[in-house]
Chain A
Amino acid sequence: MPQHSFKLNGETVTVEAPDDLRLLWVLRDIIGITGPKYGCGLDVCKACTSHINCKAFNPCSVPVGEFTPTDEITTIEGLADRSTGALHPMQQAWLDLDVAQCGYCQPGQIMAAIAKVRQAKAAGREIGDDDLDEIRNICRCGTYVRIREAIKTAAAKM
């Protein structure tokens, strides 16, 4: 069985898995990291959104063989400050606005939101409604309105 090494939430991990096993199942079924959720396995619902080298991506649609030892993968569990435990401003905004309902999609929503704010900032603009319209993450509880408010609130602090 092939071995795969990458950095996961600040720690180097090595796992044995077939090359084509999607990272989501490596995280959930082998390592036991369950923050990224299964919602479709089709790169559509975005419930598993995590970060690779500070960019948002969906582990359900990347074979584990594609990662290298220098790749830094961050899931929702690794988002808070690792030394102080302080929440990321996006997590804090989610709490302040009480965004979540069932909570199933929210780890993915938060990870996507952070990347979207960074993307807007890199393009030299504040995040606006057009950017928010591009977020594809499904929330079947329909919390979209509070998600938009929370992202705008957190963006000012990022």
Chain B
Amino acid sequence: MADDSSPRPGTPGRRRFLGYVLAAPTLLVAAQLGVDAADPKSAEASIPSPPEPADLMDLGDALTLAALPTSNLISIRIDSDGTASFAMPRAEVGQGISTAIAMLIAEELDLPLDRVKVTLADARPELVFNQFTGGSNTIRSMYRPVRTAAAIARARLLSAAADRWQVPVSELTARDGVITSRTGRTATYGSLAEEAASARTTAVSARLKERSAFSLVGTPQNRLDARAIVTGAKKFALDLDVCPGAKPAMVRRPPTINGTVDSVANLAAVRAMPGVTDVAVISTGVAVRGETFGQCVDGVRALEVTWHGGSVDGESDDTVLRKLKAATPPLAVPPLPGASLDAEFVFAFASNSALETNNAIADVKPDRAEIWSSLKSPIDAQQMIAGRLGLPQSAVTVHVTEGGGSFGRKLFFDAALEAAEISQKMGKPVKLMWHRTDDFRHGRAHPMCFSRIRATYALGNVVSYEQRHASVATDFSHGLGEALTATAAKLPVGDLGFSETVFELTQSVPYNFGVTTQVLNEVPLKFHTGSMRDVYSPNVVCARELVVDRLAAKMHKDPVAFRRSFLKEDRYRAVLDKVAELGDWGRKMPAGTAQGVAVHTEFKGCTAVLVEIDCRPETTGRKIPDAVTGPRVTKVVMVVDVGLPVNPRGLEAQMIGCVSDGIGLALTESLHISGGLPLEGSWDDFFYTRQWNTPTDVQIVIMPPTTGEPGGAGELGVAGSFAAVACAYARATGTVPASFPINHGTLSFVPLPREPSIPQSPTDGLDHAF
């Protein structure tokens, strides 16, 4: 799509990009998705490690490459009220892409930000691979196309004004949605929208603004939906009143993962319960539809169900770990006495459950279906639902709703599939909501994994670094898998499966550690798995950074100085230097407290994180009812370089969230598998970071533009935060943990019953009013 005849990147001048003016009654402009391939980076200093695949081409590049041959158009419409509208083929789940994309459009159009409306597009099968929200890829893949479309719109509006006034375009200026002539005549974009429209579709080219001319991009902006959020007006799927007759529905689920219904003893009795309208056996359990969700809970609990076994009934934490250890690929370099270091780490299952549980509205008729849900791969959802219902894909309309968090969960569409099945079986529209307990026990989880590392060193250098990672299989059976398959021949990873491909495309060691290899092997156990915010990196990087600290100690070097001397790029050193300076690295601290530092590079960006942790008994022993307390991270400084920050305030928000995730993964947050089911069933069992574990001093520092291209942001900060907390804990306690989270060995709660699958709501809420 790029016209390369104009100056190359890095030289002055403006590049032209191709787009379209589409036939429409008002101004409608479009561009194709897809970006330039990345420039390979070169390694330098120390014992150079050859570039790994992720250095040459990362997951985001692979996704945008997948989009190129098949992508269709994204379009921006200018209406007579002077607004620009864009139906974004991505999912907004809190990561702030709606606001950042609106900023790009407003910037290139010279339109006030509040006049840009970004909505979420329905599933558009013609986009094939291009409606997938994942891999922190949205801004990277949209950066040029949306700006191209907006620049074309601006140029058309200028031409329309020039025609109206019979003056050359060079005498006109565009600003804040108004075009002004040299003689002072003005016309709003709205008043020109119809004159600028085209009766036929034509290809045109546009010049994009130089980065130096940006006045909005790069400035901190608040979320465009912030007011709707704080007034309760923002609508998530279950808040929508879009489908007449869609009543609440919930599901009784099996006592083990993937168990199925043998028989139900009291179907008629439950159907006759107050408020219950329908009961149906489905592939995943027994569905109850009722007037209210409260009555569905009663119905679900009253069901007397006999179950067939599930897919992992014999599995528990220890059986899975044995299988992982057995499946860990062998190390290649032999151990060298006195000059090598071996380490092993276990990472427990962790739920990617969002605060909004899995849900969907479904209305299935004999000849068509309509679905509403927050979906990051809506085209895949549409295909699968059509297949399940026995309908052509074109008969299934899939609306993408605002999502209440994702963290990988909404890559899948378990609730949308299930809601469609229930609606078809009952012959009525439903609003399906998963109970919280089911969302933990039967929802997706980041799989347990095991990492073995061997590093060898001599004469002040690290000579080899090998990491062997074994994981319960991660399910990539959503759009990502297909996108990578389609691109496989062009990827620098050879003939690998999906998971290995993702691993190769995301994992790179930022240090010159000589011969460096990282290999993944998977154990195909039938748990409900999926990605969780940054897939492999949090675990792989935590293990690596702990080993880096140990290497530094073996070689009698300070952890920061050691990292500094081996980092491959100046950008990486810059964030490390900055974090060490701002975080006052090396300051004297009381016994039982310590600093920790870590570096992570991915998504064409990099972070350095410095944390301080308090592991003294008076802190670890602090009491909060029904909570785990333990060590407290007291301070975090994170320095982040994303190449080109589009919305620094949104980027800071993402990094704050990543810090909360990293603290939880290191210290408190895991699923315990026992007899084929996670024991966790509520947020007081699954210990995601809470206020009492939140640091009181957090500083996020965003580096000024470096590469000039926006990198990925949504997941970038998790791995470094996790690793820095782990390193700080090891330094504070003098013990390097071998298992994460560190409290996983103790079950700190009483598990909810397995049967019935969901607990009843309490009735004593007023006793706790404050």
Question: Which residues of A line the B interface, CB within 8 A?
Answer: 17-18, 20-22, 24-26, 28-30, 32, 34-45, 47, 52, 55-63, 66, 75-77, 79-80, 87, 91, 94-95, 98, 100-107, 110, 115-116, 119, 129, 132-148
Contacts and interface: CB of A to CB of B under 8 A. Distances in A.
B682 A40 contact: yes
A141 B409 CA distance: 13
22 contacts: A17-B292, A34-B239, A38-B238, A39-B355, A45-B682, A52-B766, A77-B233, A87-B230, A95-B226, A98-B653, A100-B94, A100-B229, A101-B94, A101-B95, A102-B354, A102-B356, A132-B691, A141-B405, A141-B657, A142-B689, A143-B656, A148-B691
B227 A139 contact: no
Nearest to B409: A140
A130 B765 CA distance: 23
Given A29-B248, A40-B683, A102-B94, A144 B770 contact: no
Interface of B: 93-96, 222-223, 225-236, 238-239, 241, 248, 274-275, 291-295, 297, 353-357, 402-405, 407, 433, 435-436, 624, 626, 649, 653-654, 656-661, 682-684, 688-692, 694-696, 698, 759, 761-766, 768-770
A37 B356 contact: yes
Nearest to B647: A98
A107 B689 contact: no
Given A43-B765, A57-B769, A144-B691, A34 B354 contact: no
Contact of A37 (B226, B404, B762): B404
A37 to B, nearest CB: 7
Contact of A61 (B402, B435, B656, B765): B765
B691 A91 contact: no
Contacts of A119: 770
Given A76-B230, A77-B232, A142-B656, 10 more contacts: A21-B294, A75-B232, A94-B226, A100-B230, A101-B94, A101-B657, A102-B403, A104-B404, A138-B690, A148-B694
Q: Which one of A94, A137, A140 has the greatest number of beta carbons of chain B within 10 Å?
A: A140
A91 B275 contact: no
Contacts of B291: 29
Nearest to B695: A145
A15 to B, nearest CB: 11
A22 B761 contact: yes
Contacts of A45: 355, 436, 682-683
Nearest to A55: B769
Contacts of B661: 142
A120 B769 CA distance: 14
B691 A135 contact: yes
A94 B230 CA distance: 7
A29 B624 CA distance: 34
Contacts of A140: 353-355, 405, 407, 688
A100 B227 CA distance: 10
Given A21-B295, A57-B769, A110-B230, A98 B222 contact: yes
B230 A52 contact: no
Contacts of B234: 103
A97 to B, nearest CB: 9
Contacts of A29: 248, 291-294
Nearest to B661: A142
A47 B355 contact: yes
Contact of A115 (B274, B407, B694, B770): B770
A17 B294 CA distance: 11
Nearest to B662: A142
Contacts of A40: 436, 682-683
A77 B293 CA distance: 21
A102 B684 CA distance: 21
B232 A34 contact: yes
B236 A104 contact: yes
Given A57-B765, A91-B230, A34 B770 contact: no
Nearest to A138: B683
Contacts of A37: 236, 355-356, 404
A145 to B, nearest CB: 5
Given A44-B684, A57-B768, A104-B404, A143 B657 contact: yes
Contacts of B356: 37, 39, 102, 104
Given A95-B222, A138-B688, A107 B232 contact: yes
B293 A52 contact: no
A56 B227 CA distance: 22
A43 B356 CA distance: 15
Nearest to A107: B232
Contacts of B297: 41
B684 A61 contact: no
Nearest to B232: A35
Nearest to B684: A44
Enumerate the 6 nearest inter-chain pairs by beta-carbon distance, A residue then B residue, closest first: A142-B660, A35-B232, A102-B94, A104-B404, A61-B765, A103-B229
Nearest to A40: B436
A102 B230 contact: no
Given A57-B769, A98-B222, A102-B94, A38 B433 contact: yes
Contact of B94 (A21, A115, A141, A147): A141
Contact of A20 (B225, B230, B763): B763
A66 B764 CA distance: 10
Contacts of B691: 132-137, 144, 147-148
Nearest to A142: B660
A32 to B, nearest CB: 7
Given A41-B297, A42-B436, A61-B761, A139 B222 contact: no
Contacts of A52: 766, 769
B762 A42 contact: yes
A75 B233 CA distance: 12
Nearest to B241: A32
Nearest to B439: A40
Contacts of A43: 761-762, 765, 768
Contacts of B405: 101-102, 104, 140-141
A26 B761 CA distance: 14
A100 B226 contact: yes
A102 B694 contact: no
